[in-house]
Chains A and B, each alone.
Chain A
Amino acid sequence: MIVDAYWFLTAHTMRNRLVSQLKRVKEPRYAVASLLGLLYVFSIYSQHSGGTGGGLPNDLFRSPASLLLIASTCVAMLVAGWWIFGGDRSALAFTPAEVHFLFAAPLSRRSLIQFKLLRAQPQIIVSTLVWIVLLRRGGESPLPMLCRALAFYIVFATLLMHRLGASLVRSTAAENGGSGARRSALPLAIVLAGLAGLAWSVLAALPKLRHANGDFLPILRQALSGTLPSVVLAPVRWTLAPTMSSTVPEWAVAMLPALAMLALHYLWVIRTQVAFEETAMEATTKRAERLAVRRARRSGASVVEPVVAGSRAIPLAPTGEPAIAIVWKNSTYFWRTMGKRTLVLVVLIAIISVVIAAMFGSRDEQTGQYGQSALGPILIMFTMLFTLMGPTYIRNDLRLDLQQLDLLRTFPVDPVRLVGAEIASSVIALSALELAFVAVLYLSLLFVPQWTPFSLSLGERTLALIAFATAIPLLNAVTLTVQNGVALLFPAWVRPGSTGGGIESIGQNLLAMIASFFLLALSWIAPAFAVGAVLWTLWAMLGRWSIGLAVVAGGSVIVLEVWLVMTWLAGVLTKTEKIDE
């Protein structure tokens, strides 16, 4: 009965999803996204299929025994982790709909587990295909594709069942009281004994490893090839062996113990009669929350992290410009979710930068002076990092409120000011972090002026700091206006929605990224011209001091640009709507 239910659910889900995706492809934007996604996947595949390129290093493949040993040890550690840390509860997760319909249905626990195993099959098959593509070694592998696929399928299926079994035994121990604890005691003891055996073998080889001069693989291999580790790793080795086989007869022989392991795992899991419903429901809820967060992140919307209410961080007067309330709201979010820790992190990075500059900066042996440009590259590196990563990381703006656009529209706030306040929120947060970073560097240089980059005097450094403090918010305003604009203008491109996914989703993400970069590049043209024009005109007269005027000119163009775009976005915000009924 459960198999019929599974096939009904799977067949109808796949058919409906396919039909809906084909319908969407009729629209040009989804067609383009699908095409782009296909091209991307094809490019990945072709990268791994040409000649001898891709895959694992060849010297590793020339020694399948070493590879098998390393893989067995890694997998054994993974499995041990499932047992020691109480089982991975997510292995027991169903979808909320499955919990709703199946747990209330007249089905035995065995049927539920069978359903869980059947539901995992597509995931196992996809994992198998991905690994075959990733490990493809052109014409090198003598094994036919089907043999390799079967070998990987057995590995993934066995591991999945082991993870499920470990979860059933360990995670439900608390749910089942004393009987659960007793049931988990024996396997846990076996796993711990096995781990102790492996650790003993490696510890015994420690003196040799100390003198290995970096060549420790042969020593480790020798240590793990002893009788005790061989016995401990045997079940994992049997499971993995077919994937490492070099010939078809060798593969066929290796498949027998691997199939036996698979069958034993199936019997073990299916015969485990424990009450797992509560654990499964808890795992289901947590997985649903994780998926919601992941989906929101993928959509370009900001994700509301769990927050803890503390004392009110920022005061807000009840009267005054209403748009300030938006900035206050978003800043409160930033401060409560990431502000404090990010600020600490940035200051720490700045201090570490100074220390690194001191440690690794070039030093004149004769004079004892540090090289003067040691901080320069660090400053440039972090400026790039902040510029590229900052707008993605700091998202307390319209992206935070994408799901509540309707609520925003009911506020008695002028739409241009509303959009401005939203964008200003993330500009303030990002600029504050960047300025904190630069301020720490500036203050450090007051005490250790010998590390100053680009031989700047104190006056020039102060001017640079003022120019930086002026320019950074403006530059961030451009970048964040683009980011918010893309999220608002192309929600369907940025947000694949719950039915989207796969190839189309990959294509949409690529398009959103390309659009952001294109618009950003476009927005830099006019300010760059303004800066260039001022420098070209005034450099000869004012020298470095003309930089300040250039910043003012570029800044003015940016302000104008941002204001125009915000006005346009405000119109979009007012008009964008959806059908609710």
Chain B
Amino acid sequence: MIEVRDLTKLYGELVAVDHLSFEVAAGEVLGLVGPNGAGKTTTLRALAGIGAPTSGSVHIARYDMAKQPLQAKRALAFIPDEPQLFDYLTVEEHLLFVARLYGVADAPARIPPLLAELELEQKRTTLPGALSRGMKQKLAIACGLLHEPVALILDEPLTGLDPLAIRKMKATIAARAGGGAAVILSSHLLHLVEELCTKILVLQNGRRIAYGGIAEISASVPQIAGQDLEDVFIALTQGAPVPPTP
């Protein structure tokens, strides 16, 4: 569903992403992790069609993002870490706007249950300025889910959500994957990644340093085999195993 081949992104001399390849099949949830500056956001931006890669290719639902960007984008939803909303459109108007962009003919039928799922029904006519950070995040997610994308890219989706909303969001992500969507989830919350993701991709300095199932990656560092993802991550990115936290 999502295929990335030899993705490279240069900013002048800086290599932000270096020959990165991976794929996410329908129903899979890929956790994209790495230290700050590893190239995660650059990768996600390339996947979402925001920034063109210097070389390599991105395919979404078999559409080449470089050659068939409109078809690829129609199959995709990108939800950035900082919700980008229009201050002058209400919650419901955001969804109507997205419906038109993606040609969602049955939007009037889809919007109420989506608002209910994300607990936004009471805020239908509210402008973003009057929403909390968490509500804004929920609205951004609702906009992403409205057209039922087959590829879902989430950058730190749980930022600003309360515990109950986090639980619901996790259920929403799992349900979308269960429904056949390919999901990429970038997060520093490694317990969330561990809980939700079927595969992990660890990036450092723009390069892939680990990729595969959690057990598979964990086994690649024999010193801390069997430890949780946090210990595996630190061992991989620091270059040496560290004692697990008690």
Residues of A within 8 A of B (CB): 304, 306-309, 312, 316-320, 322, 324-325, 328-329, 332-333, 336-337, 404, 406-407, 409-414, 574-575, 577, 579-581
**Within the complex, what minimum Cβ distance (angstroms) separates A361 from chain B?**
42
Contacts of B100 in A (CB 8 A): 316-320, 322, 324-325, 328
**Within the complex, what minimum Cβ distance (angstroms) separates A59 from chain B?**
52
At the interface, yes or no: B223 with Cβ under 8 Å from chain A?
Answer: no
Q: Is the CB of A410 within 8 A of B48?
A: yes
Q: Is the CB of A332 within 8 A of B102?
A: no
A307-B88, A333-B88, A581-B42 in contact; A409/B101 too (CB < 8 A)? no
Q: Is the CB of B48 within 8 A of A318?
A: no
Count of inter-chain pairs, beta carbons less than 8 A: 103
Q: Is the CB of A412 within 8 A of B11?
A: no
Contacts of B105 in A (CB 8 A): 318-319
Contacts of A333 in B (CB 8 A): 86, 88-89
At the interface, yes or no: B179 with Cβ under 8 Å from chain A?
Answer: no
* Chain B contacts with A in 199-230, Cβ cutoff 8 A: none
**Within the complex, what minimum Cβ distance (angstroms) separates A450 from chain B?**
45
Closest to B73 in A: A412
Instruction: Encode contact with A along B59-90: 1 for CB under 8 Å, 0 otherwise.
Output: 00000000001110110101010001011111
User: Can you report 23 A-B residue pairs in the complex whose CB atoms are below 8 A from each other?
Assistant: A312-B93, A316-B97, A319-B105, A320-B100, A320-B103, A322-B101, A322-B102, A325-B97, A325-B101, A329-B89, A332-B89, A332-B93, A337-B88, A406-B50, A409-B50, A410-B48, A411-B73, A412-B73, A412-B101, A577-B52, A579-B16, A581-B37, A581-B42
Contacts of B37 in A (CB 8 A): 581
Q: Is the CB of A322 within 8 A of B103?
A: yes
Closest to A579 in B: B11
How many Å lie between the Cα of A411 and that of B48 in the bound state? 9
Q: Is the CB of A328 within 8 A of B126?
A: no
Of B50, B69, B76, most A-chain CB atoms within 10 Å: B50
Q: Is the CB of A329 within 8 A of B86?
A: yes
Q: Is the CB of A581 within 8 A of B89?
A: no
How many Å lie between the Cα of A155 and that of B107 in the bound state? 65
Closest to B126 in A: A309
At the interface, yes or no: B55 with Cβ under 8 Å from chain A?
Answer: no
Instruction: Encode contact with A along B112-139: 1 for CB under 8 Å, 0 otherwise.
Output: 0000000000000111010000000000
At the interface, yes or no: B184 with Cβ under 8 Å from chain A?
Answer: no
Q: Is the CB of B88 within 8 A of A411?
A: no
Interface size class of B (residues with CB under 8 A): 35 or more
Closest to A322 in B: B101
Partner of B108, one of A318, A322, A581: A318
Contacts of B90 in A (CB 8 A): 309, 312
Q: Is the CB of B101 within 8 A of A332?
A: no
Contacts of B87 in A (CB 8 A): 304, 307
How many Å lie between the Cα of A74 and that of B107 in the bound state? 62
7 closest residue pairs by CB, A with B: A325-B100, A412-B73, A318-B107, A318-B99, A333-B88, A412-B74, A407-B84
**Within the complex, what minimum Cβ distance (angstroms) separates B3 from chain A?**
19
Of A312, A404, A575, most B-chain CB atoms within 10 Å: A312
Closest to A415 in B: B69
How many Å lie between the Cα of A64 and that of B188 in the bound state? 70
At the interface, yes or no: B39 with Cβ under 8 Å from chain A?
Answer: yes
At the interface, yes or no: B96 with Cβ under 8 Å from chain A?
Answer: yes
At the interface, yes or no: B36 with Cβ under 8 Å from chain A?
Answer: yes
Q: Is the CB of A413 within 8 A of B101?
A: yes
Instruction: Encode contact with A along B172-184: 1 for CB under 8 Å, 0 otherwise.
Output: 0000000000000
**Within the complex, what minimum Cβ distance (angstroms) separates B36 from chain A?**
7
Of A309, A406, A574, A579, most B-chain CB atoms within 10 Å: A309
Q: Is the CB of B45 within 8 A of A580?
A: yes
At the interface, yes or no: B244 with Cβ under 8 Å from chain A?
Answer: no
Contacts of B107 in A (CB 8 A): 318
A333-B86, A410-B49, A412-B70 in contact; A309/B125 too (CB < 8 A)? yes
Contacts of A575 in B (CB 8 A): 52
A318-B99, A329-B97 in contact; A410/B78 too (CB < 8 A)? yes
At the interface, yes or no: B104 with Cβ under 8 Å from chain A?
Answer: yes
